[in-house]
Amino acid sequence: MRHIISLLLENESGALSRVAGLFSARGYNIESLTVAPTEDETLSRMTIVTSGSDDVIEQITKQLNKLVDVVKVVDLSEGEHIERELMLVKVRASGKDREEMKRMADIFRGRIIDVTDKSYTIELTGTGQKLDAFLDALEEGAVLEAVRTGASGIGRGDRILRV
């Protein structure tokens, strides 16, 4: 099953490689991993999307908790949560495709943030599924380049992850 795990970790060099190293050393999957400092500059917030059986996920959270740099671990998928991913995608936009591409961006609530006479760069935010759906909806060969951030997640309602 797919899980989205959030962690707070010390904002220290090496903390990221401890987490990444743990996943590779123990053979756990990483679908995506995002990390950035938080409003408290001594802490980083990381979101990991992984998959595995319940036993594997239990081990992943225990092993993450064991890392000395990790302050808190939450499996967001255990409760209501929101996840978002940002994609920047450069698409072919010449001739008759140009109008069509603009319409597609509008339908998916994307924003065109850069324009040349042959291409658009579209910014799109949503769940991973929505981004997939957008890419699927485009004509074959329309995508020139796509950059995705991987998912970030947060609990719904009053669930808060902080120290």
Partner 1 sequence: MELTGAEITVRCLADEGVEYLFGYPGGAVLHIYDELFKQDRVKHILVRHEQAAVHAADGYARACQKPGVVLVTSGPGATNAVTGIATAYMDSIPMVILTGQVPTHAIGQDAFQEVDSIGITRPCVKHNFLVKDVHDLAATIKKAFYIATTGRPGPVVVDIPKDITMARCEYSYPTSVSLRSYNPVVKGHSGQIRKALNLLLEAKRPMIYAGGGVVLGEAAAELTQLVRSLGFPCTNTLMGLGGFPASDPQYMGMLGMHGTYEANMAMQHCDVLLAVGARFDDRVIGNPKHFFQEDRRIIHIDVDPSSISKRVKVDVPIVGDVKDVLSEMSRQIAAGTQKPDAAALKSWWTQIELWRARDCLKYDRTSAIIKPQMVIEKLWEVTGGDAIVTSDVGQHQMWAAQFYRFDKPRRWLNSGGLGTMGVGLPYAMGALLAHPDAAVACVTGEASIQMCIQELSTCKQYRMPVKILNLNNRYMGMVRQWQEFFHGNRYAESYMDALPDFVKLAESYGHVGIRIEKPADIEPAIREAFARKNELVFMDFITDQTENVFPMVPGGKGLSEMILV
Q: Check residue 31 for interaction with partner 1 (CB under 8 A).
A: no
Encoding tokens for residue 18? Answer: 């401890």
State in angstroms the smallest separation of the CB of 94 from partner 1: 45
State in angstroms the smallest separation of the CB of 98 from partner 1: 47
Length of the chain: 163
* Helix, strand, or coil (residue 6): strand
Burial class (CB in 10 A: 0-12, 13-18, 19+), 24: exposed
Distances in Å between the Cα of 161 and the Cα atoms of 47, 150, 153 are 12, 19, 11
Q: Within 32-71, which residues bind partner 1 (CB under 8 A)?
A: 55, 58-59, 62-63, 65-66, 68-71
Stretch that binds partner 1, among 13-21, 27-35, 113-121, 134-142 (CB under 8 A): 13-21
Which residues make up the interface to partner 1 (CB under 8 A)?
Answer: 9-10, 13-14, 17-18, 21, 25, 55, 58-59, 62-63, 65-66, 68-71, 163
